[in-house]
Structure 1
Amino acid sequence: MIRIGIIGCGNISRGHIFRLRLLKDVRLVGFCDTNLDRARSLRDLAFPEHEFAGNELLYQDYREMLDNIKMDAVCIFTPHTLHFPQAIYALKMGLHVMVEKPMACSLENAKKMVDEARKRNRVLLVSYQRHYASQFIFLKEMINKGELGQLKMISIRLNQDWVAITRGTWRMKPELSGGGMLMDSGSHIVDLVLWATQLEPVKVYARISNDGYPVDVYSNILLELEGGVIANLSINGNAPMFEEDEVFYGTEGYIRISDKVYWVKKNRETIIPPWLPAKSNPDQNFVNTILGKEENLSPGECGVKVAAVTEVAYESSRIGKEVNVQLD
Structure 2
Amino acid sequence: MSTNFNFKNILLVLTLIITTLVYAQEPPLKLGVAGLTHGHVGWILGRGQQPDMNMVGIVEPNQELAIKLSKEFGFSMDIVFSTMDEMINMVNPDAVAAFGNIKDHLKVVKVCAPKGIHVMVEKPLATTYDDAKEIKRLADTHNIRVLTNYETSWYKTNVKAIDLYQQGEIGELRKVIIRDGHKGPKNIGVSSEFLEWLTDPNLNGGGAITDFGCYGANLMTWITKGKRPKSITAVTQQLQKENNPNVDDDATIILTYENEMAILEPSWNWPIGRKDMELYGTKGAIYSDNPTQLRVRLSKGYSDYTEETFLLGEREDPYNDPFAVFAAVINDTLQLEPYNVYSLENNMITMEILESAIKSAKSGKTILLN
Is contact 2:157–2:312 with CA below 8 Å preserved after alignment? no
How many percent of aligned residue pairs carry the same amino acid? 23
**Are 1:205 and 2:236 counterparts?**
no
**Partner of 1:16 in structure 2?**
44
**Are 1:187 and 2:214 counterparts?**
yes
Is contact 1:32–1:39 with CA below 8 Å preserved after alignment? no
**Which amino acid in the other structure matches residue 216 of structure 1?**
D
**Partner of 1:58 in structure 2?**
80
Is contact 2:127–2:202 with CA below 8 Å preserved after alignment? no
Q: CA deviation at 1:250?
A: 0.6
In structure 2, do the counterparts of structure 1 residues 17 and 251 end up closer, same or farther at CA, with 3 Å as the change threshold?
A: same
**Which amino acid in the other structure matches residue 299 of structure 2?**
K
Is contact 1:91–1:120 with CA below 8 Å preserved after alignment? yes
Alpha-carbon RMSD across the aligned residues, in angstroms, is 2.2
**Which amino acid in the other structure matches residue 195 of structure 1?**
W
Greater Rg over alpha carbons, structure: 2
**Partner of 1:235 in structure 2?**
266
**Are 1:33 and 2:64 counterparts?**
no
TM-score with structure 2 length normalisation? 0.79
Secondary structure at 2:46's aligned position in 1?
helix
**Partner of 1:77 in structure 2?**
99
In structure 2, do the counterparts of structure 1 residues 218 and 275 end up closer, same or farther at CA, with 3 Å as the change threshold?
A: closer
Offset from partner CA, 1:126-156 (integer Å, 9 cap, x none): 0022223211111121222222211001122
Offset from partner CA, 1:67-110 (integer Å, 9 cap, x none): 44311110001111111111222112210001111111111211
Once residues 105 and 219 of structure 2 are traced to their aligned partners in structure 1, the CA distance between those partners, rounded to angstroms, is: 21
**Partner of 2:158 in structure 1?**
136
Q: CA deviation at 1:187?
A: 1.5
**Partner of 2:322 in structure 1?**
282
Secondary structure at 2:264's aligned position in 1?
strand
Once residues 108 and 181 of structure 2 are traced to their aligned partners in structure 1, the CA distance between those partners, rounded to angstroms, is: 31
Secondary structure at 1:201's aligned position in 2?
coil
**Are 1:314 and 2:341 counterparts?**
no
1:224 to 256, 275, 281: 256
Is contact 1:152–1:250 with CA below 8 Å preserved after alignment? yes
Q: CA deviation at 1:255?
A: 0.3
Is contact 2:174–2:280 with CA below 8 Å preserved after alignment? yes
Bigger shift: 27-36 or 234-243?
234-243
**Partner of 2:3 in structure 1?**
none
Bigger shift: 61-70 or 211-220?
61-70
**Partner of 2:285 in structure 1?**
254
**Are 1:90 and 2:112 counterparts?**
yes
5+ residue gaps, structure 2 = 1-27
**Partner of 2:9 in structure 1?**
none
Q: CA deviation at 1:203?
A: 1.1
**Partner of 1:4 in structure 2?**
31
In structure 2, do the counterparts of structure 1 residues 124 and 159 end up closer, same or farther at CA, with 3 Å as the change threshold?
A: closer
5+ residue gaps, structure 1 = none
1:196 to 223, 229, 251: 223
Once residues 94 and 266 of structure 2 are traced to their aligned partners in structure 1, the CA distance between those partners, rounded to angstroms, is: 38
In structure 2, do the counterparts of structure 1 residues 206 and 137 end up closer, same or farther at CA, with 3 Å as the change threshold?
A: same
Once residues 352 and 128 of structure 2 are traced to their aligned partners in structure 1, the CA distance between those partners, rounded to angstroms, is: 7
Is contact 1:209–1:217 with CA below 8 Å preserved after alignment? yes
**Which amino acid in the other structure matches residue 104 of structure 2?**
L
Q: CA deviation at 1:206?
A: 0.8
Is contact 1:162–1:238 with CA below 8 Å preserved after alignment? yes
Once residues 25 and 76 of structure 1 are traced to their aligned partners in structure 2, the CA distance between those partners, rounded to angstroms, is: 18
Offset from partner CA, 1:5-60 (integer Å, 9 cap, x none): 101123311113333x35212232211112123334545666x4x7x5xx411112
**Which amino acid in the other structure matches residue 98 of structure 2?**
I
Once residues 67 and 331 of structure 2 are traced to their aligned partners in structure 1, the CA distance between those partners, rounded to angstroms, is: 29
In structure 2, do the counterparts of structure 1 residues 76 and 120 end up closer, same or farther at CA, with 3 Å as the change threshold?
A: same
Q: CA deviation at 1:322?
A: 0.9
In structure 2, do the counterparts of structure 1 residues 293 and 323 end up closer, same or farther at CA, with 3 Å as the change threshold?
A: same
Is contact 2:123–2:148 with CA below 8 Å preserved after alignment? yes
Once residues 69 and 40 of structure 1 are traced to their aligned partners in structure 2, the CA distance between those partners, rounded to angstroms, is: 20
In structure 2, do the counterparts of structure 1 residues 13 and 270 end up closer, same or farther at CA, with 3 Å as the change threshold?
A: same
Secondary structure at 1:312's aligned position in 2?
helix
**Which amino acid in the other structure matches residue 189 of structure 1?**
G
**Which amino acid in the other structure matches residue 355 of structure 2?**
E
In structure 2, do the counterparts of structure 1 residues 91 and 156 end up closer, same or farther at CA, with 3 Å as the change threshold?
A: same
Once residues 66 and 45 of structure 1 are traced to their aligned partners in structure 2, the CA distance between those partners, rounded to angstroms, is: 24
Once residues 278 and 200 of structure 2 are traced to their aligned partners in structure 1, the CA distance between those partners, rounded to angstroms, is: 33
